[in-house]
Amino acid sequence: MSTREESVQSAGLAGSVAVLCLSAFVVMIDSTVVQVMVPALTASFDAGLDDVLWVFNGFVIAYAALLITAGRLGGVHGPRRLLIAGLVVFALASLAGGLATSLPQLVAARVAQGVGGAMIVPQALTLIAAVFPAERRGAALGLVSATMALAAVLGPVGGGLVVTTWGWRWVFLVNVPVCLAAVVLARRWVPPGVTASRGRLDWGGVVLIGVGLATASYALLGPGRLPWLAPAAVLIAMFAARQRRQPDPLMPPRVFRDRAFLVAGWVGAAQFGVLAGLMLLVSVRVQSELGGDAIDTGLALLPMAVAAGLISPVAGWLSDRIGGGPIMAAGMLALGAGASGFALSTSGLAVAALAVAGLGVGLVMAPASTEAIRRLAPDLVPAASGVLNTARQAASLLGVAVIGGIAQAGPGAFTTAAGTLTALALLSGLAGLLLLPRHVRDDALTNRP
C-alpha cells in the first residue's frame, strides 16, 4: 500500500471514530440529563414527580428492550444503515420532545429517543470490529469509551446550564443539528455494506426478548416492582429456549461458547453495575448530606469522568498489545479502591478517591469490549454487541436498585454499600485475570485456519 493510500485509509478510520464518538455522546448525554429537568417539567406541565419520572423511565425501558434486536439488525442490514437510521429517529424524537405540549407527548418522544439510541449504540462495536484492523480496535474503542464516560457526567452539568439559560426544551432541540451532522459524517466516512448479511429476523424472538427486557427494566426502576422480575425471567427463558431451535437465531447460542466473551462480558457488566452504584452514592452524599442538587452532583463526578476519559484510549491501546486481562484487573482494583475511599473520606480526599475510581473505569471499558469480541467470528459480532450492551444496561439498573436498597438500611449503611461495590469490583477483576484466555496476537487469530 502506498503512502497516499495509507493516509487516505487512516483519515477514513479517524472519520469513522469521530462519527461513532459523536453518536455515542448524544445518546449517553440524553440518558442522564433528565434528572436536572424534573423541577422545570413539573412546573411546565403541572404534574407530579411520579408522572415526570416517566420521561426518564420511558427512555430506559425502550432502550434496554431493543439493544439485542438492534444489534442483530445491524448484522442483517449493515451497521452503517442502522446507525444512520438510529440518528434520524433520535433527531426526530428530540424535535418532538422539544415541541411537546403535554407530558404524554414528551414521554412518547422519550420512548422514541430510546428506540433511536438502541439502534445507534450497538453499531459502534460492530463497525469497529469490521472496519479497524485487529491491532487497532482497542484504541478506537478507547476513544468511544472515553466519549461515553464524559457524556454520562456532563449530562447533568450541561443540561442544567441549558435549562437555566434557555429552558428545558432546548435540551432536546440541540440534539437535532448534532444528529444531522452525524448523519452527514456517517455517509461520508463510514463504509457502506459492512458485515451486512441476508439473514432473517426472528420476530417471535424479538417479541419475547423485547417484552422480557422491558419488564425487567420496569421492575428495577422503582421500589415495590420486584415481583415483575418473575414474568420477565420466564419470558427471557422462553427466548433462550427458542434461540436453540432457530436456524437463524436473534442471539446465536454459539456466542456463549466463547470463554473470552463470557469473562470479558461479565467484567464489563460488573464495572457498569459498580459505577452506577457509586454514582448513586455520590448523589446521596451531595444532595442529601450536603444540600446540593443534580448539577452539584455532576460537578462532583467530573474528576472521575475526566480521569476515565484520559486513560481509556491508553487502556485500549495497551489491550491491543498485551491483552486486556491484567488491564481490566487493575481497573477493577482501582474502581473498588475508589468506592471505598470515597465512602471513608471527606472533601478533597473524596474527590481524589473518585478520580481513582475514574481511572478504574477507563482501564476497563475498552479492554472489556475488545477482549469480548477478539475471538468471535465476524458474523457473530453484531449479536454479541447487542448482548454486551444489554448486560451493561441491566447491570447499571441492578446496581442502582441494590445499592439504593442497602444505602437506606440504617446506620452504617453507606459504608456497607460502598463495601459491597468494592467486593464486587475486586472479585470481578480477579475473575477476569484468572479466567480470561491467554492473550494471543491478533494477527495469529486472523490467520488461523
pLDDT (average), residues 434-442: 72
Would you state the torsion angle of the CA atoms of residues 434, 436, 442, 444, taken in this order, to the nearest 10 degrees? 80
pLDDT value at residue 159: 85
Domain count along the chain:
2
Distance CA 74, CA 378 (A): 12
Same domain, yes or no: 190 and 327:
no
> How many residues are present in the chain?
449
The greatest distance separating any two alpha carbons of the chain, rounded to the nearest whole angstrom, comes to 68
Is residue 114 a part of any domain in this protein? yes
pLDDT (average), residues 180-199: 79
pLDDT (average), residues 131-149: 85
**Residue in 117, 122, 45, 108 with CA at minimum distance from that of residue 86:** 117
User: How many H helices and E strands in the chain?
Assistant: 18, 0
Q: Which residue blocks in 132-174 are alpha helix, DSSP H?
A: 137-165, 169-173
Question: pLDDT grade, residue 266 (50/70/90)?
Answer: very high
pLDDT value at residue 38: 87
Same domain, yes or no: 96 and 191:
yes
Mean pLDDT of the chain: 88
Is residue 226 a part of any domain in this protein? no
Answer whether residue 140 shows pLDDT above 70: yes
pLDDT value at residue 195: 52
Distance CA 100, CA 259 (A): 47
Distance CA 55, CA 381 (A): 32
pLDDT value at residue 374: 87
pLDDT value at residue 34: 80
Is residue 225 a part of any domain in this protein? no
What cell was used for 269?
457488566
Answer whether residue 3 shows pLDDT above 60: no
Q: Is the pLDDT higher at 442 or at 291? A: 291
**CATH code where residue 260 lies:** 1.20.1250.20
pLDDT value at residue 448: 41
Is residue 299 a part of any domain in this protein? yes
Answer whether residue 9 shows pLDDT above 60: no
Is residue 234 a part of any domain in this protein? no
Question: pLDDT grade, residue 153 (50/70/90)?
Answer: confident
Is residue 214 a part of any domain in this protein? no
- Pick the most confident of 1-15, 327-341, 433-447: 327-341
Same domain, yes or no: 193 and 276:
no
Distance CA 264, CA 275 (A): 16
Same domain, yes or no: 280 and 360:
yes
Same domain, yes or no: 257 and 165:
no
pLDDT value at residue 75: 86
What cell was used for 144?
468511544
**Residue in 273, 229, 279 with CA at minimum distance from that of residue 402:** 273
pLDDT value at residue 372: 93
3 state DSSP class of 252: coil
DSSP structural state of residue 64: H
Cβ pair 25, 163 in contact under 8 A: no
Same domain, yes or no: 193 and 290:
no
pLDDT digits (tens, 9 = 90+) for 277-334: 999 999 888 888 888 887 888 888 889 989 999 999 999 999 988 889 999 999 999 9
pLDDT value at residue 429: 94
**Amino acid of residue 445:** L
Same domain, yes or no: 159 and 272:
no
**Residue in 430, 75, 134 with CA at minimum distance from that of residue 263:** 430
**Residue in 82, 13, 19, 12 with CA at minimum distance from that of residue 382:** 82
Would you state the torsion angle of the CA atoms of residues 281, 335, 267, 135, taken in this order, to the nearest 10 degrees? 130
Same domain, yes or no: 195 and 342:
no
Residues 6 or more apart whose CB falls under 8 angstroms from that of 331 comprise 271, 315, 359, 360, 361, 362, 363, 364, 367, 429
Same domain, yes or no: 361 and 269:
yes
Distance CA 158, CA 223 (A): 29
Domain that holds residue 61: 1-201
pLDDT (average), residues 353-373: 94
Q: What are the two backbone dihedrals, phi and then psi, of residue 85, each rounded to the nearest 5 degrees?
A: -60, -40
Question: pLDDT grade, residue 388 (50/70/90)?
Answer: very high
Same domain, yes or no: 185 and 261:
no
Q: How far apart are the first and last CA of the chain?
A: 25
Residues 6 or more apart whose CB falls under 8 angstroms from that of 370 comprise 137, 138, 141, 264, 316, 319, 320, 324
pLDDT digits (tens, 9 = 90+) for 376-386: 988 899 999 99
pLDDT digits (tens, 9 = 90+) for 192-221: 755 555 567 889 999 999 999 999 999 999
pLDDT (average), residues 66-78: 91
Residues 6 or more apart whose CB falls under 8 angstroms from that of 356 comprise 307, 334, 337, 338, 341
What cell was used for 139?
484504541
Answer whether residue 362 shows pLDDT above 80: yes
Same domain, yes or no: 187 and 313:
no
Beta strands in 201-298 (DSSP E): none
Cβ pair 260, 371 in contact under 8 A: yes
Question: pLDDT grade, residue 2 (50/70/90)?
Answer: very low
pLDDT value at residue 444: 44
pLDDT value at residue 200: 76
What cell was used for 447?
490467520
- Here the contacts of 262-265 (C-beta below 8 Å, separation 24 or greater) are 263/371, 263/431, 263/432, 263/435, 263/436, 263/437, 264/324, 264/328, 264/367, 264/368, 264/369, 264/370, 264/371, 264/372, 264/432, 264/436, 265/368, 265/372, 265/387, 265/388, 265/391
Answer whether residue 263 shows pLDDT above 90: yes
Is residue 206 a part of any domain in this protein? no
Element at 202 (helix H, strand E): none
Element at 30 (helix H, strand E): helix 3-32
Lowest mean pLDDT among 25-39, 53-67, 91-105: 25-39
pLDDT (average), residues 145-157: 83
pLDDT value at residue 1: 47
Is residue 220 a part of any domain in this protein? no
pLDDT digits (tens, 9 = 90+) for 235-257: 999 999 999 988 889 999 999 99
What residue has cell string 458485515? 195
pLDDT digits (tens, 9 = 90+) for 109-121: 999 999 999 999 9
Answer whether residue 446 shows pLDDT above 50: no
Same domain, yes or no: 133 and 264:
no
pLDDT value at residue 378: 86
